[in-house]
């Protein structure tokens, strides 16, 4: 069995995180080229450093053989100061990524549980994220750990063909 270390990400992890982000971007670009650009500098170092330096960020990685193979990148946020919305703090997950060759080993669940432990220390219970309807594996994972759809975002594209997979998935989800 491989020895793994779960730890906070650092600036020194940039290249490993960049490689993981490339895997996610390739999938997003292949499914939604109407929204994503095919770029090589998709995750600039300065952007990554700004996330690391953000006091509200919680970034955790799994290291295996001196390489980061899974990450969870999140940020503690507060609701807007609008009278109709209850004031609360919550955690928004920007990314959960497990390297393709390390999937199905429970790493995403371990990262999620580690994040929950960090949030307990901050007295934060709510966790939110956004997932594309085409990412059925991620949806199944999120549901398996007890997450459920909070809202559904629709789109209508009058100048291009509609993505029928998106429409079918959204229709199925709204029927629940």
Buried b (16+ CB within 10 A) or exposed e, 59-82: bbbbbbeeebbbbbbbbbeeeeee
In three-state secondary structure terms, 47 is helix
Average pLDDT over residues 7-36: 93
pLDDT tens readout for residues 40-98: 888 899 999 999 999 999 999 999 999 999 999 999 999 888 889 888 999 999 999 99
Round the CA-based radius of gyration of the chain to a whole number and report it.
17
Which architecture, in CATH terms, is 4-129?
A: 3-Layer(aba) Sandwich (3.40)
Q: Residue range 28-34: average pLDDT?
A: 90
Residue 163 pLDDT more than 90?
Answer: no
Please count the other Cβ atoms lying within 10 Å of the Cβ belonging to residue 97. Answer: 23
User: What's the whole-number average pLDDT of the chain?
Assistant: 89
Is residue 105 predicted with pLDDT exceeding 60?
Answer: yes
The domain segmentation of the chain, as residue ranges, is 4-129, 133-176
Residue 151 DSSP SS3: coil
Q: What is the mean pLDDT of residues 110-124?
A: 97
Q: β-strand 57-64 against 67-78: which pairing, if any?
A: antiparallel
Q: What is the pLDDT of residue 168?
A: 52
| Half-sphere exposure in the Cβ direction for 169 (13 Å, CA) | 18
């Amino acid at each position: 069995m491989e020895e793994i270390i779960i730890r906070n990400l650092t600036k020194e992890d940039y290249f490993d995180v960049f490689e993981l982000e490339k895997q996610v971007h390739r999938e997003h670009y292949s499914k939604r080229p109407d929204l994503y650009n095919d770029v090589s500098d998709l995750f600039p170092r300065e952007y990554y450093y700004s996330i690391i330096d953000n006091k509200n960020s919680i970034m955790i990685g799994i290291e295996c053989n001196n390489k980061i193979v899974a990450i969870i990148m999140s940020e503690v946020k507060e609701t807007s100061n609008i009278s109709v919305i209850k004031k609360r703090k919550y955690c928004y997950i920007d990314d959960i990524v497990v390297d393709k060759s390390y999937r199905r080993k429970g790493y995403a669940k371990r990262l999620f549980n580690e994040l929950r432990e960090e949030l307990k220390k901050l007295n934060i219970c709510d966790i939110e994220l956004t997932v594309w309807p085409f990412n059925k594996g991620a949806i199944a994972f999120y549901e398996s750990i007890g997450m459920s759809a909070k809202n559904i975002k629709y789109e209508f594209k009058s100048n291009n063909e509609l993505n029928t997979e998106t429409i079918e998935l959204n229709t199925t989800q709204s029927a629940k």
